[in-house]
Amino acid sequence: MMNNKLLPLASLTVCTICTFIGVNSFEQQLPNSWQKALYSNRVLAQTSQEQIANQVYQKSSPAVVTVQTGNGHGSGFAVVGQDGLIITNAHVIKPLPRNEEEVENYNPKDFPSVVTIVFPDGKKVAADVLGFGKNGLDLAVLQIHNQKDLRTLALAAAGSAKVGDRIFTLGTPLYADFKDTFTQGNITRIDSRTGKIQHDAVIQGGNSGGPLLNSKGQVIGVNTSGIVGPAKLNSGMNFAIPVAQVQSFITAARKKDISSISTLFEKSTKPAIANISLNGQIINGSLAEGDPTRENGEIKNGSFVNLYQFRGRAGQRVVIEMTSQKINSFLILCQVIETSEGQIYSKITENDDRGAGDFNAQINTILPEDGVYAIFASSQQIGETGNYSLRVTAKP
C-alpha cells in the first residue's frame, strides 16, 4: 500500500509530467518556423544570462582576495582608488568570542596588525590593518603598499539594489584552496530600517568580507553572515552590509575617522539589573555585543537585553517608554517572584510597536500587586545593537 505521506509528491510529479507532455504536444502542433523561434528564444535567454555571469566574474575576480590572519581566513576586495585599500569584515580580523572562556579572556587590542592578502592567481602580499567600523559596524579596512596595477571594484549607487535583483558573490568559502569561488542568486529581502540585504546565493564560512555584486559587477554589499540549516548546510538566508554603509566607512577611513579596535564586542560592565525610578527621568542605554540575551521561558528569543527593576504598588498605573533610532525597540514587563530556587520572572505584558509605523515601544498598564517588577529593554530582532532612551512614569 502506498504511504499516504508520499501522495502529495506523487500527485505533483504526475501533474508536472502531464503539463510537460501538454506543452510538448502543443509545440508539436506549431509550424516548424514557430518551433525554431521558440527554441531560439530559449537558447538566447540562457546564453544572455550566462554571458552576464561570465562578464561579472571576469571583471570582478582579479579584485577579490583571500585575507589570511594566521588563525583563519576570510574574503575581501580592493576598492576604487589609488590608495590600495582592501575592505573585509571586522570579525575576519578580530573574531567574536565563542564561549564563556573566550569572553573572559577577550582583549580588543589583540589582533594582527599585518595580514596576508592572496590574489586569485596565488600571488601573496602583506597588508596593514588600518582600523574598524565604529558603533559595531562589521567592517575593517586594510592597506596594501607599493602595489602597481591593483584591480579594483566599483561601488554601486546607494539604494540601487532591489528585491528580486540577480546577484553574484565571490570569495573563499570553507578552505583557502577554494579561493575565487563564484556563486549567484537573487535578493530575497531588504530590511526597510537598516538596509541589510538578504539573498540566497550560496556562501559559507570564509566568504565573510567578500563582495555582493550586481549584474554590472558593482559592489552592492559586503557578505557578513548566513543562517545554517540542518547538517550545517547553507539555508539560503544570507546577509550583506549595504553599500551605503560601505561607502560611508570608506570615506571615514580615508579621513582616518575609524576605530583602532573592533567595536563588535565589548565586555559588559553594566550591573545584571539596574534600579529605575518612576519619576519620568530619561535613562540613556544601549544594546551591545556581549550584553545578556533573552533566554528565559516566555521571553526567550536570543536578542540582547538590558534589565531594570522598580518597586510598585497594587493598582498603580505605570507607563514605560523605550525609544530608539537604531533598533526596533521591544519592552517586556515582568513581576519578580521569589521562590525556593531563586527569582523567576512572570510576564505581565509586552509591546513591540507603539503604533502603526512607529517602531518605538510603550507599555501602559496597571500593576496587579505590591512587589518588585522587572523591565526587559530589548529589540525585536536578534543581533540588533544601538542606543535607546528609557523612561518610566507612575500615574496617579
pLDDT (tens digit per residue) in 265-299: 876 555 578 999 999 999 999 998 878 887 654 45
264 assigned to some structural domain: no
In a domain, 230, yes or no: yes
The last residue of one of the domains, among 224, 254, 284, is 254
For 249, the grid coordinates are 566607512
Domain-located, residue 36: no
Find the CATH number of the domain harbouring 334.
2.60.120.380
283 and 210 part of one domain: no
Whether 69 shows a pLDDT value over 90: the answer reads: yes
Residue 44 inside a domain? The answer is no
Asked, for residue 20, whether it belongs to a domain, the answer is no
Confidence of residue 365 (pLDDT cuts 50, 70, 90): very high
Torsion, Cα of 144, 148, 149, 153 (10° steps): 20
Same domain membership, residue 289 and residue 233: no
Do 107 and 211 fall within a single domain? yes
Over the stretch 324-345, which tens digit does the pLDDT of each residue have? 988 999 999 999 988 776 778 8
pLDDT at 24: 45
Domain that includes residue 361, residue range: 274-395
- Pair 79, 224 in one domain: yes
Query: What letters, b where the CB count within 10 A reaches 16 and e where it falls short, cover 104-124?
Result: eeeebeebeeebbbbbbeeee
Which whole number is the average pLDDT over 39-67? 84
* pLDDT at position 303: 83
Q: Tell me: do 325 and 241 sit in the same domain.
A: no
Q: Is position 66 within any domain?
A: yes
213 domain-assigned: yes
Convert the pLDDT of each residue in 293-319 to its tens digit: 876 544 556 788 999 999 999 999 999
> In sequence order, which residues have a C-beta less than 8 Å from that of residue 39 and are 6 or more positions away?
none
| 237 and 144 fall within a common domain | yes
Q: Is residue 214 part of a domain?
A: yes
Q: pLDDT class for 392, splitting at 50, 70, 90? A: very high
What lies within 8 Å, CB to CB, of 377 at 6+ separation is: 285, 287, 305, 306, 307, 308, 322, 329, 331, 388, 390
Residues 282 and 246 in one domain: no
Same domain, 241 and 374: no
Residues 286 and 187 in one domain: no
Q: How far apart are alpha carbons 234 and 222 in whole angstroms?
A: 17
Are 209 and 311 in the same domain? no
Instruction: Kindly report the CATH number assigned to the domain that includes residue 192.
Output: 2.40.10.120
Q: What is the largest CA-CA distance in the chain?
A: 86
Write down the pLDDT at residue 3: 42
Domain total in the chain: 2
Spatial separation of the C-alpha atoms in residues 381 and 102, rounded to whole Å:
25
Q: Are residues 95 and 172 in the same domain?
A: yes
Q: What is the pLDDT of residue 147?
A: 80
Average pLDDT over residues 207-216: 96
Can you tell me the mean pLDDT for 352-360? 82
Chain Cα centroid distance, residue 137: 11
| pLDDT tens by residue, 104-161 | 888 889 999 999 999 999 999 999 999 999 989 999 999 999 887 899 999 999 999 9
Name the band, by pLDDT with cuts 50, 70 and 90, for residue 2: very low
Same domain, 390 and 311: yes
